[in-house]
Amino acid sequence: MCGIAGEIAFSYDVRAHRENLLRMQKVLAPRGPDQQGLYLSEQAGLAHRRLCVIDPAGGRQPMRRVVDGKGYVIVYNGELYNTGELRAALRREGARFTTRSDTEVALLSYLYWGEDCLQRLNGIFAFAVWEEEARRLFAARDRIGVKPFFFAEAGGGLLFASELKGILAHGAVPPVIDRDGVAEILLMGPGRTPGCGVFRDIRELCPGSFLTYEKNSLRVRRYWKLTDQPFTDTFAQCVEKTRFLVLDAIERQLVSDVPVCTFLSGGLDSSLISSVASRYLAKQGKELTTFSVGYRDNEKYFKKSKFQPSSDPAYIRLMAEYLKSDHHDVILDTPQLVQGLYDAVNARDLPGMADVDASLLLFCREIKKEGTVALSGECADEIFGGYPWYRDPEIRARYGFPWAQTTDYRLGFLRDEWTEVIDGRAYVDRRYRQTLADVDRLPGLSATERRMKEMMVLNFQWFMQTLLDRKDRMSMAAGLEVRVPFCDWRIAEYLYTVPWEYKDYNHTEKGLLREAMKDYLPRKVLWRKKSPYPKTHHPAYRAAVERELREKILGDPDAPLLQLVKREALERLLTETTGTPWYGQLMNTPQTIAYLVQVDFWLRRYRVQIVS
């Protein structure tokens, strides 16, 4: 993976902004510690930082090619998993290749097929192509939205970057939030409205979309979304097709010129990926390396709950023995997690999922010491219906975002001057309704099937994007490429059409996936009840984040958070024992405290200007 950035302008000479582009490039260095490159012309500047995975010598960027006397330059972040098929198809068109890199495949795909190339690409990517003669920029993002792409119109030109910090580093866009930005942070966060960059004037290219920019014209269009189709497969056919798609996605994503490892939590998703990877590598005479994350004294303090019925260590040991993998346990302690809160904000450029972000960043740093590419199990729950809000009829029927039913609770933190200018309930409701309006459904569906289509789109556009943001920023901040096989668009597209009765096979979460892959796991792991990403249960963690809140915010009358949040609400939070969820089952009172600590740090660190 890599970091990309650029500036396009038609009213001034971009070459005069070389230092600005170098700053954009520099702040993206963690995404690409191996190589860097810069392209400059009168109208375009493209910057790149590279993490070498495929063809280190041939894949340098920005990459320029000339076809029929016309020059094209690409900066690309991602991986294509159907490179071989694309290369063969392009050769039939007359294309000639000089490298083994998928960057060249992406560039030539655009040169020969134009925007239609996006229908052919299977991978995770964000890229921009500058057409020298046409003086036109084309940029696109993968269907699922695994790789990020932010952009802003400023100073008569267009800026873009893989991360918010890339655009802010240029200097033309100040770090300002207005009432919508405040609402995003305190009413939607750590989620974000699709396309919203939180900072005023910064947007994110939505998944499955592309943009074109030429003189006096910025155009954004969508090229893919989840669409319903008639479903005629029997259950046996559905199982077989699901099995094929999952195996094919995982095996395609094991291709690399550097060693590949896997995350292993002992849960269904990471265990399946690890098992497929282990068998695939064994055929090549290689051993799989696996990594698990845990917390100091977690077994001592772990308490079963409806959402977290079992802890991971016993299942991790079982899987490591089953796989005969070279297994590594990473154990984190409270002081690391507290410092990690701040490092995670620097990685995400926004407050995030508190210790859930921090622990992943620390985990990725440890994995990076051993490898460069890892596979992880994100997004199976969204696609196969694994979350509690899919399965509990009462939760499922509730109006609103199922993982964030606490708008009134959140509004209780806002200072009065903000509740006077922000209609919080309307803000959240408008985004919920807009998402439902985007749901594609065939006529004649039952009420259950209609709701399940809504649930999948809600999760796809919101909760899943929060997790993908987290995975991309935390892993890339550590210089680690993490691939997510369940985000293969073919799996998502097919599963969107599969009836709930099939997904709910055996009345078990992700029952279809379990049945399709049942010979890849020991029975104890195959039918293990879902348990979410592990977090610390140590009481020292809550005590530590409470101390951060008291000392750095309540102890500082000039703390920027106090411009947004009532002091008395923060004091009340410190005594809270009921545990009102902030965002899904992973963010309760300790994480709410940590999130607000992150908000304050973010306001300071990024020197955010708050305007109403």
The residues annotated with a catalytic role in the active site are 2
Residue 323 contacts residue 290 (beta carbons within 8 Å): yes
Q: Distance of CA 86 to CAs 96, 140, 552, Å? A: 12, 17, 54
> β-pairing, 157-161 with 150-154?
antiparallel
Collect all residues with Cβ–Cβ distance below 8 Å to 1 and sequence separation of at least 6. 31, 32, 51, 53, 77, 78, 79, 147, 476, 481
- Only one residue has tokens 């410092």, namely 339
**From the CB of residue 305, how many other CB atoms can be counted at a distance below 10 Å?**
10
Quick one: 447 exposed, middle or buried, by C-beta within 10 A (0-12, 13-18, 19+)?
exposed
> β-pairing, 2-9 with 44-50?
antiparallel
| Start-to-end Cα distance in the chain | 38
Q: Which pair of structure tokens corresponds to residue 17? A: 């902004």
Residue 186 contacts residue 564 (beta carbons within 8 Å): yes
Collect all residues with Cβ–Cβ distance below 8 Å to 78 and sequence separation of at least 6. 1, 2, 102, 106, 123, 124, 125, 126, 127, 142, 146, 147
Q: Which pair of structure tokens corresponds to residue 192? A: 């974000």
Instruction: Please state, in angstroms and rounded to a whole number, the distance separating the CA atoms of residues 55 and 602.
Output: 38
Q: Helices 235-252 & 268-282, crossing angle to 10 degrees?
A: 60
**From the CB of residue 520, how many other CB atoms can be counted at a distance below 10 Å?**
20
Residue 25 contacts residue 52 (beta carbons within 8 Å): no
Residue 260 contacts residue 382 (beta carbons within 8 Å): no
Element at 70 (helix H, strand E): strand 70-80
